[in-house]
Structure 1
Amino acid sequence: GITDQPFVIVKADAGTYGMGVMSVKSADEVRGLNRKNRNKMAKVKEGLEVSEVIVQEGIYTYETMDGAVCEPVVYM
């Protein structure tokens, strides 16, 4: 019954501070990265080069609290 398009988050396997992160809905998006986006994904904090990435299942967020988007989080 899920009607939303599936996606994954691809991020550098090192601290990113929001750098080296992209949302992907198709493998073609990764294969077709232009030079600007490849360079953006290739560097993270302190100018470290990216050698490995994490592929994480994307989850659409529909929850809100006081008008702001929020996500449930489970710590283990």
Structure 2
Amino acid sequence: MAAETPRFLCAPGLKIEHQERMAELRFAQLNQALGKIEATMERLEKRLWLTVYGVVAVILATAVQSLVTFAP
């Protein structure tokens, strides 16, 4: 088996590793923020549909009520 060559730590190498780690952390934070935004959008969409169904129900109730008052 060949022996592994030891990693040589130098300032540019450490700087690149630091930048890679920061990029990973930023992407993780971005993914977390996007997850929160998606959850908020889903809640908003549910509220919107509930509002639409409520408006349709009121319109239908008004139509039925007007038919009932005119029917003998």
TM-score of the aligned structures, taking structure 1 as reference length: 0.22
Q: Which has the higher strand share?
A: 1
Q: Which has the higher helix share?
A: 2
Please say which structure displays the higher CA radius of gyration: 2
Identify which of structures 1 and 2 has the higher relative contact order when contacts are C-alpha pairs closer than 8 Å and 6+ apart: 1
TM-score of the aligned structures, taking structure 2 as reference length: 0.23
